[in-house]
Amino acid sequence: DQQVKQNSPSLSVQEGRISILNCDYTNSMFDYFLWYKKYPAEGPTFLISISSIKDKNEDGRFTVFLNKSAKHLSLHIVPSQPGDSAVYFCAATHTGTASKLTFGTGTRLQVTL
Amino acid sequence: NAGVTQTPKFQVLKTGQSMTLQCAQDMNHNSMYWYRQDPGMGLRLIYYSASEGTTDKGEVPNGYNVSRLNKREFSLRLESAAPSQTSVYFCASSETQTLTYEQYFGPGTRLTVT
């Protein structure tokens, strides 16, 4: 039972355009969501997060939107840069789970020149 | 400040052999985690330790054991390796007091079992 789903395995975007990565979840207990970025042969690195009490969080070129009623979140990258090419993982957790994260399967973003 | 370190980086085992993956963090975090990453499967939690002296099973614990040696170190042991355990293993740590749930990951150990 995949509680966090990233239905697009890959995405290709031109440099300077917007990248939109999507994530859906099924567990209504999740109340905190994170995005991680992973380069080949490296560990995932934290990118941005959002609590369920908000519907938007912004950090520079990265914005995460949360739609609780649809159990959907998205990561927007504007403008996209070649260095953003990586695999992006969505993760979710809820209070009282010892910070255990449930990860999606990842979306590989390629930013082309 | 090295963050989370893992040894070894690569390992090849024969079926039935045993080995221990080492992990250490220097951020004084309370919680530590072991994940495996397989193609198309994302990261799956094997075991975690919410605090020094405690360990609990995650989503895929079968075939593994863990030891939280002290606050810094959390090791993962494969007693009798199987080809299904071929994977990339990541250790992570987090500070649970801040309620941000952010985990910091090591660089990973790529394990092949033949």
pLDDT at B2: 79
Give residue A95's pLDDT: 77
Query: Which chain A residue has the Cα nearest residue B102?
Result: A46
What average pLDDT does this structure show over A60-77?
98
Instruction: Dig out the tokens for A51 from the structure.
Output: 């609590």
- Check CB contact of A88 with chain B, cutoff 8 Å: no
Q: Where are the beta strands (DSSP E) in B31-86?
A: 31-38, 42-49, 56-57, 64-68, 74-78
Residue of A nearest to B104 (CA): A45
Write the CA distances from A103 to A3, A110, A113, B114, integer angstroms: 8, 20, 30, 28
Give me the residue from A6, A9, A49 closest to B102, CB to CB. Answer: A49
Angle (CA) A63 A65 A66, round 5°: 150
Tell whether B103 lies on the interface with A, counting CB pairs under 8 A. Answer: yes
**β-strand A107-112 against B31-38: which pairing, if any?**
unpaired
| Per-residue pLDDT at A97 exceeds 80 | no
With a cut of 70, which residues of chain B have pLDDT below it?
A: 1, 97-99
Mean pLDDT of chain A: 94
The answer to whether residue A33 neighbours chain B at the CB level (below 8 Å) is no
Give the pLDDT confidence score for residue B41 in this predicted structure.
Answer: 86
Tokens found for residue A10: 């890959």
**Two tokens at A102?**
């449930």
Residues of A in contact with B5 (CB under 8 A): none
Q: What is the pLDDT of residues A2-55, one digit of tens each?
A: 899 999 999 999 999 999 999 999 999 999 999 999 999 999 999 999 999 999
The answer to whether the CB atoms of A43 and B108 lie below 8 A apart is: yes
Asked if B102 lies within 8 A of A89 by C-beta distance, the reply is no
Count the residues in chain B: 114
Polymer length in residues for chain A: 113
Identify the CA nearest to A76 among candidates A104, A92, A57, A102: A57
Give B98: exposed, middle or buried? Use CB within 10 Å, 0-12, 13-18, 19+: exposed
**How many CB atoms sit inside 10 A of residue B12's CB?**
11
How close, in Å, is residue A30 to chain B by CA atoms? 12
Give counts: helices (H), strands (E), chain B.
Answer: 0, 11
